[in-house]
């Protein structure tokens, strides 16, 4: 039997059986499980990672140096890069409005 604090589920949920208590708990907390500690859903996390992978290709982390090619894209990308960004991320930009 699952416990909540030091009390068994049936004590916490007013005499309901364990199965009923678990069903209530699962229904109440199902949405929370799909979010991380910052409230970001799995779907949102995937999109965030896609955007980060575009701007920071490879296995980049905050301690990595940035290649000249990436720096050129960041600062001198031009119309081709603008078009590529629009094609890849226009939906995310529209969703922010």
Residue 89, classified by CB atoms within 10 Å of its CB into exposed (0-12), middle (13-18) or buried (19+), is middle
The model's pLDDT over 63-80, given as tens digits with 9 standing for 90+, comes to: 888 889 889 999 999 999
Tell me how far apart the alpha carbons of residues 65 and 67 are, in angstroms, rounded to a whole number.
6
Whole-structure pTM value: 0.56
89, pLDDT greater than 80: yes
Residue 78, classified by CB atoms within 10 Å of its CB into exposed (0-12), middle (13-18) or buried (19+), is exposed
The model's pLDDT over 6-61, given as tens digits with 9 standing for 90+, comes to: 545 444 555 555 566 667 667 666 655 666 777 888 888 888 889 888 888 877 77
Res 10: pLDDT = 45
> What ranges do the domains of the chain cover?
3-33, 42-96
């Amino acid at each position: 039997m699952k416990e909540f604090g030091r009390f068994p589920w049936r004590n916490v949920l007013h005499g309901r059986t364990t199965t009923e208590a678990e069903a209530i708990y699962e229904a109440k907390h199902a949405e929370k499980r799909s979010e991380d500690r910052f409230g970001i859903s799995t779907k949102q996390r995937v999109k965030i990672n896609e955007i980060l992978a575009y701007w920071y290709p490879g296995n980049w982390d905050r301690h990595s140096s940035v290649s000249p090619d990436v720096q050129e894209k960041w600062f001198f990308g031009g119309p081709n890069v603008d078009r590529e960004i629009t094609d890849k991320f226009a939906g995310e930009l529209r969703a922010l409005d």
